[in-house]
Amino acid sequence: MRVMRSGMIEELSKDYVTTARAKGADKKTIHIKHARRNALLPVVTVAGQLVAMSMEGSIAVEVVFNRHGIGWWLAESAVQLDMPVLMCIGLFMGIVFVIINLTLDILYAYIDPRIRLT
Q: With beta carbons less than 8 A apart as the criterion, state whether 109 and 117 touch.
A: yes
Confidence of residue 79 (pLDDT cuts 50, 70, 90): very high
| Per-residue model confidence as pLDDT tens digits over 7-38 | 888 888 888 888 988 998 888 888 888 888 88
CB atoms within 10 A of CB 117: 8
In the chain, the amino acid numbered 45 is: T
| Per-residue model confidence as pLDDT tens digits over 44-75 | 888 888 888 887 788 888 888 988 888 888 88
Angle, helices 2-12/37-64, rounded to nearest 10 degrees: 160
Helices in 1-118 by DSSP H: which ranges?
A: 2-12, 15-22, 27-29, 37-64, 70-79, 83-111
Confidence of residue 83 (pLDDT cuts 50, 70, 90): very high
Could you state, in order of their start, the residue ranges of all structural domains in the chain? 2-111
